[in-house]
Structure 1
Amino acid sequence: MILTWLGELSPYQQKSAQHLMKVVNNNETFLLWAVTGAGKTEILFPALAHALEQKKRVCIASPRIDVCNELYPRLKAAFSQITITLLHGQQKQKYQYTQLVICTTHQLVRFNAAFDILIIDEVDAFPFRNDHLLEFAVKTARKRKSALIMLTATPTKKLLQKAGKGVFSFDYLPLRYHGAPLPQPQVFCETWKKNIQQEKISIRLKRIFADWEKQGYPFLIFVPRINLLKPIFRIVRQNLKEDIKGTTVHASDEHRIEKIEKMRSGYFRYLVTTTILERGVTFPFLNVLVLGADDEIFTRAVLVQIAGRVGRNKKRPTGDVFFICEMQNKEVKEACRQIAFVNRKGAVLKNETMSSLPKKNS
């Protein structure tokens, strides 16, 4: 048996999984828009198992190294009888032919007419978004008759327009796998930059850190610029007990993978990070805070993805999401509106699904 995963899909996930099976069988191009925490990876499992049983070659590519590193152990566990290759710029493993490949989108330039099924996870993420060379690499890496599946929680307007025009088929899953809504961000305006320059933080932030200290859960603090990492880390450390370990991390950090693993293992309780951890990484029971949420680096999609780090575990499907800004700009407001929108859609879907299920005898 190729699929060794012992979990079960929710009724909402099963519907999307069945759609994906048709896409694979018919060699279609398809977009799955599913909220963060919907379980997109698990939704892929039935179609992947079907394709692998048919000896088809499959590639799952993502623009982000961290996403690939997160996918690799999960796919290895789910398909333990299949050899999987992981390819990205920081991976030392030598290339060998395997039926299933996980790689960054940059690595697709190494392949020509190689894959029966190509899956692009986080299709809207930088650096894939609007990169014509990488888009060309996707075309050349596929066989002439092949399926292309695009996954995202924050589709671009361009993708939605193409879906609306029928350029490719489309499905929408506005509900997380455990059925709970996405945490709605709490937005606060304050002169945080001036405070940081004076090496202090507001009473509100002190209360947040004190509360998180008592909770005992891990947390991420997002900042808009690399030069803010160290000063903010110093201030955070001053407002926590000495035994609560944390560090900074950013894209060019040579110890980045090691730090993320230490966060995942519980050695670090928190990370002060740039947008490199906006998506593709999962830490259970997480809280997040965005300092400077009104900075231009924090677009609507980035803020939605960051908020989506929280509440992903069914044992704690809630959590804190704080946006701290000088003023509420368009991106902050749109991010909050989008989360409220998908939560409304998710509630409707949940009610429809529950009402359609057979009632148990009382």
Structure 2
Amino acid sequence: MKSYFGRQVVHAKVNKVPENIVSSAAFIGNICQRCGQNVHGKLPKNHFYCRACLALGRVSTLDVLLSLPEPNNFDGNDILSWTGQLTQQQKVVSDELLETLSRQREHLVWAVTGAGKTEMLFPVIHQALTQKYRIAIVSPRVDVILELAPRLQQAFSETDKVVLHGEQTEAYRYTPLVLATTHQMLRFKSAFDLLIVDEVDSFPYAGDQMLAHAVKNARKINSAVIYLSATPTKALQQQVKRQLLTTSYLPLRFHQHLLPVLKTTIVGPWRKKLPVIFLRQIKQFSQTKRRFLIFVPQVSDLVGVYQNIKNNFPDMLGDHVFAGDPKRQEKVQNMRDQTIQYLVTTTILERGVTFPGIDVLILGADEKIFSENALVQIAGRVGRNKDRPTGLVKAYVQHTNFKVIAAQRQIRQMNKRGQQLGGRV
């Protein structure tokens, strides 16, 4: 029975519905009741299925959706085992999140990369757990969830939790704390009293009506939603201006140092031949053993850049990774474990992953794939550790580019505000 609490479980109409389980139509008219979309694939005898949420398993007019109301069947004796301390600025934000929970409203945390957003969430998560609330922490990107999971495990070691994403092997079970990709919210209905969306501005969530529907449908009518972002979309900023969304703003990292400013170097056609000035920087990394990321615009750029570096610096261990890489999780973990010195990557690692003490190089930063916010996020990979709160972020471009200039301006503006709070270089 627990597997139906606050869930939407697809069930064939021809099969008997378990006793006491609520059955509802999978479609009302042409609208899929799991994802709210109107995108069909044809089946025999005028039946059809939803193509929009097919990745989560087929739901068709031959099915119903089974559910049970969320009973909050938890003991509320959860302990926060995290013993760290919040900075004064973090404490202000954390208190505002507690008020958000109390008032059951929607709230945006607009905080620079490396501000310590996860730690600021601990008090509100703990408060929700003690009130026997059900909580979901979701993100559009699986890497973010995989990085959050061990940190939440350390902070709430005695709280039962489940991690849900498309590549998981762990079976679903009923728990007070759920960590998941935003797609997984399509499986829930009126389940959560507190729903936290991390990296709310990132692909594929930003601008996706289906995922917005999933989050809205997964929360209870009376509930709190917290959005987290270092680079909120214009739409979110408009909601703040129209007072549809309350906000907390934190322009300073937890270690009180300012953000590394993006530097630029103009080079020739780098795909034909890697620039000498770029290879000179790699040589310096090789000599100093500094760990680093290289961002490239396209998947097709990965192998060429990686092989070139490997040929020039055979003693330096590295790898390359992209979104569809079957060994993606393994390679990212190798970088975390410091078994390799560098990764050549696409924008898939622009956010949500933390590698202490790294530097970052961006090849082709003037190309379309690198938006202003993407460049700010990429720069935010650097200087996140209190033992090395600074570092190098360098963009290699063939032409002066307004997006790069805008990203530099955004970082400087945040640093100006950070200085007003006592931030230092």
- TM interval, shorter chain, is over 0.9
Whole-angstrom CA distance in 1 between matches of 2:251 and 2:328 = 32
CA offset at residue 192 of structure 1? 3.7
State yes or no: 1:315 paired with 2:387: yes
Structure 2 matches for 1:45-124, cutoff 5 A? 45-124=122-201
CA offset at residue 9 of structure 1? 0.7
Whole-angstrom CA distance in 1 between matches of 2:227 and 2:94 = 14
Alignment partner, residue 227 of structure 2: 150
Letter in 2 for 1:326: Q
CA offset at residue 327 of structure 1? 1.1
More helix by share: 1
Whole-angstrom CA distance in 1 between matches of 2:378 and 2:287 = 23
Alignment partner, residue 26 of structure 2: none
Whole-angstrom CA distance in 2 between matches of 1:279 and 1:5 = 24
Structure 2 matches for 1:162-311, cutoff 5 A? 162-193=239-270, 196-197=271-272, 200-240=273-313, 242-311=314-383
Alignment partner, residue 40 of structure 1: 117
TM-score, with normalisation over the residues of structure 1? 0.94
CA RMSD of aligned residues (A): 1.0
Whole-angstrom CA distance in 2 between matches of 1:21 and 1:254 = 40
CA offset at residue 215 of structure 1? 2.3
Q: Which runs of 5+ in 1 are unaligned?
A: 352-362
Q: Percent identity?
A: 47
Q: Deviations over 1:70-109 (max 9, x none)?
A: 0000000110010111000011111001100000000000
Task: Find the residue that maps to 2:421 and give its secondary structure.
Answer: helix
In the comparison of the two structures, how many residue pairs are matched? 346
Q: Deviations over 1:154-175 (max 9, x none)?
A: 0111110110110110111000
Alignment partner, residue 9 of structure 2: none
> Paired residue for 1:25, among 78, 102, 109?
102
Whole-angstrom CA distance in 1 between matches of 2:210 and 2:162 = 23
Alignment partner, residue 127 of structure 1: 204
TM-score, with normalisation over the residues of structure 2? 0.80
Whole-angstrom CA distance in 2 between matches of 1:218 and 1:57 = 40
Alignment partner, residue 4 of structure 1: 81
Moved over 2 A (4+): 200-203
Task: Find the residue that maps to 1:350 and give its secondary structure.
Answer: coil
Whole-angstrom CA distance in 1 between matches of 2:288 and 2:194 = 44
Alignment partner, residue 360 of structure 1: none
Q: Deviations over 1:56-76 (max 9, x none)?
A: 110000000000000000000
Whole-angstrom CA distance in 2 between matches of 1:6 and 1:289 = 35
Change (3 A) 1:10 1:233: same
Q: Which runs of 5+ in 2 are unaligned?
A: 1-77
